Amino acid sequence: DTAVSQTPKYLVTQMGNDKSIKCEQNLGHDTMYWYKQDSKKFLKIMFSYNNKELIINETVPNRFSPKSPDKAHLNLHINSLELGDSAVYFCASSPRQVNTEAFFGQGTRLTVV
Amino acid sequence: AQKITQTQPGMFVQEKEAVTLDCTYDTSDPSYGLFWYKQPSSGEMIFLIYQGSYDQQNATEGRYSLNFQKARKSANLVISASQLGDSAMYFCAMRLNSGGYQKVTFGTGTKLQVIP
């Protein structure tokens, strides 16, 4: 069973479109994250949710809107896509304890053309 | 502010040799976790090793060991007996439990290439 699953794995879309990436974890974790990995491989946290509550919003444009319908899901909706949004987006989850790693999804490669 | 620094953008190592990937961190929180992840060219993030701030001994996982020097705020990854399959990006990360929530911050990564 996949612990953290993201869909789709690849997403190619035109500028100006709206798209969503879905994430689900079956680990029972309290906290979920979205990370953006740019072309230089830098991993930057975008959002963190704890029990469906938004905890961290790292100065992400408001075109990005995360939604957590329940503890196991954290979806990312992006409005009015721009070329600079092209990146790999990773969903991750972690339990409350600090001494356990974050588990990552396989990533979604978003290409805006 | 919490920060993770990896100063080596790229490293080369001969197959079967050991290599050390550097990582320094900065936090004023007494409780934190330090992690290393491997990202091969296929893109997935693979957890390698963990070190807790209160752990007395350095963590080891097979060929991976973490050289934890708390006073220097460093958490270097040592890979022994390098293999061709070790060629990948390696990320150091720090996890904090601050104000009741978790935050995991990553360094900029080191690209390791193992030479046959």
Q: If you write DSSP's letter for every residue of B31-96 in order, what string do you get?
A: -EEEEEEEE-TT---EEEEEEETT-SS--EETTEEEEEETTTTEEEEEE-S--GGG-EEEEEEEEE
Average pLDDT over residues B78-91: 97
Give yes or no for A101 touching B (CB within 8 A): yes
Q: What is the least distance, in Å, from the CA of B89 to any CA of chain A?
A: 8
Q: Residue A89 pLDDT more than 80?
A: yes
Q: Residue B78 pLDDT more than 90?
A: yes
CB crowding B49-72: b at 16 or more within 10 Å, else e: bbbbbeeeeebeeeebbbbbeeee
- So what's the pLDDT on residue A59? 76
* pLDDT, mean over chain B: 92
Residue A96 structure tokens:
């409350």
Cβ-defined contact of B104 to A99 (cutoff 8 Å): no
Cβ-defined contact of B101 to A102 (cutoff 8 Å): no
Select the residue of B33, B39, B105 nearest A98 (Cβ to Cβ).
Answer: B33
Task: List pLDDT tens digits, range B11-67.
Answer: 999 999 999 999 999 998 888 889 999 999 999 999 999 999 999 899 999 999 999
Task: List pLDDT tens digits, range A28-82.
Answer: 998 899 999 999 899 998 988 888 888 777 778 999 999 999 989 999 999 999 9
Q: What is the least distance, in Å, from the CA of B100 to any CA of chain A?
A: 9
Residue with structure tokens 């001969």? B14
Cβ-defined contact of A98 to B39 (cutoff 8 Å): no
- So what's the pLDDT on residue B1? 65
CB contacts, 8 Å: B91 with chain A:
43
> Are B20 and B12 a contacting pair, CB within 8 Å?
no
- So what's the pLDDT on residue B73? 95
Average pLDDT over residues B88-94: 96
How many angstroms separate the CA atoms of B12 and A8, rounded?
34
